[in-house]
Structure 1
């Protein structure tokens, strides 16, 4: 492991994490990347990054649920980006304790390590799911927290811990709350890769859940840029605060499917799969972001429109080597 001052990223092997690692290296930083320990020695999506990027990355196998792993990861770093989380909403109905262990207790371990080590900046990752169905739109950071799934509740618990550590100990933490991020490398538990992956595999009857909910979809490179923005902005502008990151636009799942069909030149029929439906009281029907606070504090703004981001994502899934990594015919919980 390099002894040079680095930034640490938990959840680095994941969808957003791998893009953030790429962006950090492009900005000139060396990255200490925590990958969840596994017996396959897999580095997840980091394995797709070019060698010139990985030359600036020190991969550390560990687990945020283990406090020792986290202390070793953050030692001598100047910024910690905490992205490690269990994220699939359907699986949170089956295994809620696992979400508490990772998203709450794991976040506690990161906060404790940052506090003990005197790290100058920690960026904690929240989610727009903590807002529940929009009561007012667009959603500002002052919107009530309404947790409609065990996943959302666990993420809100981590958020409250981050707030409490700043209030109680002055821990220099900032919370970023991305809305629905999409792009290359996303898992098929999310709607956009589910649709694109099925179409790229030759399907014209796409299997989905509820088509009514609306979402604010943000391209992953813009979300990564938002992480960099709050991680590097002057402390007085961001520390102790929560920031939404989203485009301010919204589209229903049904209209999204039609748009993807147009972009992929495919006439699609949608089949409803009951197992893909959330419980009625758990479905978040509308999310649309107000990112004015983030823009005012850091100057961040999304650089990619929905169609541009979808086109880039389609190109990724049309690569046979990438598509082969996915199980397009299965329901990915």
Structure 2
């Protein structure tokens, strides 16, 4: 096996796929999982044994600077994915988002500075752009905090920028647009739709139908992390790079595509409790990925139809669908 890399938020949706991608690429992976008393490794528990034998799992918490520093010690690349991500819950518990997304990132930056980590890949989000003022969205688009979640991610991104400019920290900020695929929380729109159809609910209940998004299949997103972790420093260090397909689809049209992929006819209902406050809803997101392509050679392999087929097949497995509660809306 090759170099040692470390992944925070490894038990999550994108994190678990990234761990798998990195191991298959020949890396030794140290994976931070949020400490819990259940002995759960989150979605890492679902990875095959031949992957897990190359993963060192560490229970910790990015909010604690000591555990972060020890976790990162000796890693050649640190991929920082740990974050609170559910936008509706950020309205209810904004302090927790500041502690995890802002203070947690500060702890990672301080550890990287102390340990002289050769490369830190920080995870941003397309939500920092807010509703698009121009499309496709480039990395120079203004940042707009339209939810407490996006505000904390903007703060984290700016801390990363500051540590690069102030201390020369070798950082890359990767800004994925909407990622989807197996293992994703039902807090996101695609698993919300697919899980209800897979459970044969007669009515699919969603939030707003008009917003548009740029959807990336998770294996492509994981490859983009790997690409910026491996690229020559002069091509990526100090930069923010979008991961997107450049294809825009509304939530309403997305439901029709998913229903077609799954061979079902569905009724759709907008539920008031799923709607964001009017000024907080991001109406349009579609990304320009040309800088990432030029810097690393990355390009998406999955179009929306292929990604939705793979995702729906995963959800149709009873043991996978059992992780979800299609009749329950959780913020």
TM-score (ref. length: structure 1): 0.98
1:133 is the counterpart of 2:93: no
Structure 2 unaligned residues grouped into runs of 5+: none
Q: In structure 2, what is the Cα distance between the partners aligned to 1:321 and 1:265?
A: 21
Query: What is residue 19 of structure 1 aligned with on the other side?
Result: 17
Query: What is residue 64 of structure 1 aligned with on the other side?
Result: 62
- Residue by residue over 1:147-178, the C-alpha shift from the partner in whole angstroms, topping out at 9 and shown as x without a partner, is 10000000000000000000000010100000
Work out which of the residue numbers 235, 245, 254 in structure 2 matches 1:256: 254
Query: What is residue 283 of structure 1 aligned with on the other side?
Result: 281
- Cα RMSD between the aligned structures? 1.0
- Residue by residue over 1:225-261, the C-alpha shift from the partner in whole angstroms, topping out at 9 and shown as x without a partner, is 0001111100011000000000000100000001111
Q: In structure 1, what is the Cα distance between the partners aligned to 2:25 and 2:251?
A: 35
Query: What is residue 186 of structure 1 aligned with on the other side?
Result: 184
- Residue by residue over 1:172-216, the C-alpha shift from the partner in whole angstroms, topping out at 9 and shown as x without a partner, is 010000000000000000000000001101112001110000000
Q: In structure 1, what is the Cα distance between the partners aligned to 2:328 and 2:142?
A: 36
1:317 is the counterpart of 2:315: yes
Work out which of the residue numbers 282, 296, 307 in structure 1 matches 2:305: 307
Query: What is residue 38 of structure 1 aligned with on the other side?
Result: 36
- Residue by residue over 1:75-132, the C-alpha shift from the partner in whole angstroms, topping out at 9 and shown as x without a partner, is 0110000000000000000000100000000000000001100110000000000000
Work out which of the residue numbers 138, 141, 146 in structure 1 matches 2:144: 146
TM-score (ref. length: structure 2): 0.99
Query: What is residue 154 of structure 2 aligned with on the other side?
Result: 156
- How far off its partner does 1:224 sit? 0.3
Task: Map 1:163-178 onto structure 2 (within 5 A).
Answer: 163-178=161-176
1:233 is the counterpart of 2:231: yes
Query: In 2, are the aligned partners of 1:5 and 1:76 still within 8 Å (CA)?
Result: no
What is the total number of aligned residue pairs between the two structures? 331
Work out which of the residue numbers 3, 7, 11 in structure 1 matches 2:5: 7
Structure 1 unaligned residues grouped into runs of 5+: none
Work out which of the residue numbers 198, 206, 211 in structure 2 matches 1:208: 206
Query: 4+ residue runs of structure 1 moved beyond 6 angstroms?
Result: none
- How far off its partner does 1:5 sit? 5.1
Query: In 2, are the aligned partners of 1:204 and 1:266 still within 8 Å (CA)?
Result: no
Residue 143 of structure 1 aligns to a residue whose secondary structure is: coil
Q: In structure 1, what is the Cα distance between the partners aligned to 2:70 and 2:266?
A: 50
Query: What is residue 73 of structure 2 aligned with on the other side?
Result: 75
1:247 is the counterpart of 2:245: yes
- How far off its partner does 1:328 sit? 1.2
Residue 152 of structure 1 aligns to a residue whose secondary structure is: helix
Residue 281 of structure 1 aligns to a residue whose secondary structure is: helix
Q: In structure 2, what is the Cα distance between the partners aligned to 1:214 and 1:134?
A: 10
Q: In structure 2, what is the Cα distance between the partners aligned to 1:234 and 1:219?
A: 25
Q: In structure 1, what is the Cα distance between the partners aligned to 2:267 and 2:212?
A: 19
Query: In 2, are the aligned partners of 1:33 and 1:57 still within 8 Å (CA)?
Result: yes
Q: In structure 1, what is the Cα distance between the partners aligned to 2:212 and 2:270?
A: 17
- How far off its partner does 1:332 sit? 2.5
Query: What is residue 93 of structure 1 aligned with on the other side?
Result: 91
Q: Indicate the larger mover: 83-92 or 5-14.
A: 5-14
Residue 285 of structure 1 aligns to a residue whose secondary structure is: coil
